Amino acid sequence: MTHLMNLRTRYLGLDLPNPFIAGASPLDSDLDMVMRLEDAGAAAIVMHSLFEEDIAQYGAATEAYLDRLLQIKRRVRLPVIASLNGTTATGWLRYASLIEHGGADALELNFYHVATDCCEDAATVERRVIDIVAVLKESITIPLAVKLSPFYSALPHLAAQLDRIGADALVLFNRFYQADIDPVRREPIPELHYSDSSELLMRLRWIAILAGQVRASLALTGGVHRPIDAVKAILAGADVVQLVSAILIGGPSALTRIRIGFEQWAADQGCRAIGDMRGTASMARCDNPLNYERANYLEVLRSSHRPTPLVSE
């Protein structure tokens, strides 16, 4: 295919040929799949998360993860971003250091914490994230991305603090896999649901709010299934788009389809480079920033109460 526009972008200090990344998922367990993702045009791949609980339960989990990292690095030319989900400050530091020495091009810190303690306030929850990132920034040299949930009480403030201590990227958002309840056994049932485009709106809003306010790269993950979804992500201010569910459902060709459709749309709009698009719909570029606060909320509520006009015969 003849390229219609310049898709080159930077993320985590890495020069990438396009903004489409295969996000963290079990796909990296299959080396042939990783190679297919590279052939499909993935600019980078994020490995599945190494969980500290797995390390405690399965002693060889770290070694297996580092072996997989090495195998992937030997088979493909694209950047490989490792992913780590820790539970203790010691664990975060120890395993991040091992991953750095294992050859990862960057590390995504996958923060997944559900606040269930009534005695733990919001500041304490946020402080834990900040302290861990600060220690890791002082201890390892590869770029760090911080993957957050949308449930912090003052997300822009947290983002600004992470930016200030040197986080190289923010990834929005982690998906919480919420359990159902078995009414007979009266216990939670784990369920996995793939994302769909309806999950995009919350991510677009926060990317658009943060774009231009932080130095860190911004990655949108969750809800990108169509080319127009990716278009909106870049217009909001994302530097890259991570794809997971779209690939799990449609295979590597889904990434190719989204990338080509994105490029065609942008070319039709007269965009010669991705920089012509990025952030043009962000709050920083909006004539009325109030639209990202209350105006849109009020307008939606008002429109929902307007009567549907009668159609004349």
Whether residue 234 contacts residue 275, with contact meaning beta carbons closer than 8 Å, is answered with no
Residue 312: pLDDT band by 50, 70, 90 thresholds? very low
Position 3 scores a pLDDT of 60
Residue 313: pLDDT band by 50, 70, 90 thresholds? very low
What mean pLDDT do residues 273-299 have? Answer: 82
Residue 298: pLDDT band by 50, 70, 90 thresholds? low
Q: Which residue has the tokens 């999950």?
A: 199
Range with lowest mean pLDDT among 47-56, 104-113, 214-223, 296-305: 296-305
pLDDT (tens digit per residue) in 205-234: 999 999 999 999 999 999 999 999 999 999
Tell whether pTM > 0.75.
Answer: yes
Residue 37 has pLDDT above 50, yes or no: yes
Residue 305 has pLDDT above 80, yes or no: no
Residue 294 has pLDDT above 70, yes or no: no
pLDDT (tens digit per residue) in 193-205: 899 999 999 999 9
What mean pLDDT do residues 272-279 have? Answer: 95
Residue 311 has pLDDT above 60, yes or no: no
Position 289 scores a pLDDT of 76
Range with lowest mean pLDDT among 7-21, 29-43, 106-120: 106-120
Residue 245 has pLDDT above 70, yes or no: yes
Residue 296 has pLDDT above 90, yes or no: no
Position 1 scores a pLDDT of 46
- 236 vs 20: CA distance, rounded Å: 15
Catalogue all structural domains in the chain, each as residue range(s) with its CATH number.
9-286 (3.20.20.70)
Range with lowest mean pLDDT among 83-87, 106-110, 246-250, 293-297: 293-297
- 129 vs 37: CA distance, rounded Å: 32
Residue 248 has pLDDT above 70, yes or no: yes
Position 308 scores a pLDDT of 57
Whether residue 11 contacts residue 19, with contact meaning beta carbons closer than 8 Å, is answered with yes
